[in-house]
Amino acid sequence: MDQGKYIAMRRRRVKRLKRMIIAGLILMILIPTALSVWLGVRLHRTGNALSEMNAQYESQLVLNEELQQRLRLFMELASRKGTEDVDGTPEIEEVIQSEPASDDIRRVYLTFDDGPSINTIKILDILDEYDVKAAFFVTGQNADDNEDLYREIVKRGHTLGMHSYSHVYSDIYRSRESFAKDFNKIRDYLTDTTGVTPVYYRFPGGSSNTVSKTDMKELCEYVEENGATYLDWNISSGDATNPQISVNRLVNNCMSAIPNHMTAVILFHDAAGKDTTVKALPQIIEQIQAMEDTVILPITEDTVKIRHLETETE
């Protein structure tokens, strides 16, 4: 082999080698990049699915609590009545709270849990339109995006209540200490943000929830001893369900239950995604306003306290 041929062959080999190295490098960059993108997309989707599942879990908890509460009351009523037949929920509701009918005026309280969110402002506008005041039991979740909404609730004359800062059951109900920590966090936060110290508290899941690892009576007492009053509800609008119920069902749930109470406290949710609540609200207000001797009021110190669980001190 002569010198020239040999050199040409070596060059070709070097060239081939170079191409292979470059191709290898490109592959080493491309494959991980493609993988990262793919994993990123998967992660995002999983994240979305997770938060959706979390929301559903919360809804199920509330529903579960309500069912258990009904069952307890049902059994209590059954034992009181002895062998008599027990039927109809109106009587059961009476056990929740004896409602003094001092003036024959039915008082309806619209209460909204889990806000503020994008839906809160829509609800505030509806309430303004009908000149109605309500109570908002808010959390500190997503507080940064919603700072103005806390102030707006107060500014428009509604009752601003607490509904825990984190709304994470496993956290706030772990112990009296962790509850106290969360309680003070939401109260301080709302005081700093709105200039008004909130005095009403609604327990996530209600005072009768069975998720709490701490005795709820103890936590009820804590709230009362720390300058606040806890309040529950006696009518569930049903908007905690997921997937959402229809506007008609929501309206019917409220309107069929109101006649059973002289003090009717309706539980709604103004969390993001509770669009049915926003859609049903005008009809509900109109129908209540059309009822005789019935008024819609904000919660004040004169309001009859509707509670699932009473403290010993009461």
Quote the CA–CA distance of 314 and 295 in Å, as a whole number. Answer: 27
The piece of 38-46, 91-99, 108-116, 207-215 that touches Zn ion (CB under 5 A) is: 108-116
Q: How far is the CB of 204 from Zn ion (least distance, A)?
A: 4
> Taking CB under 5 A as the rule, which mask of x and - marks residues 87-106 in contact with Zn ion?
--------------------
Residue 65 as a binder of Zn ion (CB under 5 A): the answer is no
Residue 239 as a binder of Zn ion (CB under 5 A): the answer is no
The piece of 21-29, 67-75, 200-208, 280-288 that touches Zn ion (CB under 5 A) is: 200-208
CB atoms within 10 A of CB 270: 29
> Which CB, 107 or 236, lies closer to Zn ion?
236
> Which CB, 121 or 168, lies closer to Zn ion?
168
The piece of 21-29, 109-117, 145-153, 297-305 that touches Zn ion (CB under 5 A) is: 109-117
Residue 152 as a binder of Zn ion (CB under 5 A): the answer is no
Q: Are strands 294-296 and 106-113 parallel, antiparallel or unpaired?
A: parallel
Kindly state the number of chain residues that form the binding site for Zn ion, as judged by CB under 5 A.
3
Angle between helical axes of 143-155 and 176-194 (0-180°, round to 10): 60
Q: Give the three-state DSSP class for 138.
A: strand
> Which CB, 116 or 204, lies closer to Zn ion?
204
Quote the CA–CA distance of 190 and 188 in Å, as a whole number. Answer: 6
According to CB under 5 A, which one of 65, 114, 239, 270 is a site residue for Zn ion?
114
Q: How far is the CB of 72 from Zn ion (least distance, A)?
A: 20
The piece of 111-119, 121-129, 212-220, 237-245 that touches Zn ion (CB under 5 A) is: 111-119
Residue 204 as a binder of Zn ion (CB under 5 A): the answer is yes
Angle between helical axes of 118-129 and 275-289 (0-180°, round to 10): 20
Residue 46, CB-side half-sphere exposure with 13 Å CA sphere: 6
Q: How far is the CB of 105 from Zn ion (least distance, A)?
A: 29
Check if the beta carbon of residue 108 is closer than 8 Å to that of residue 266.
yes
Please report, as ranges, the residues that interact with Zn ion according to CB under 5 A: 113-114, 204
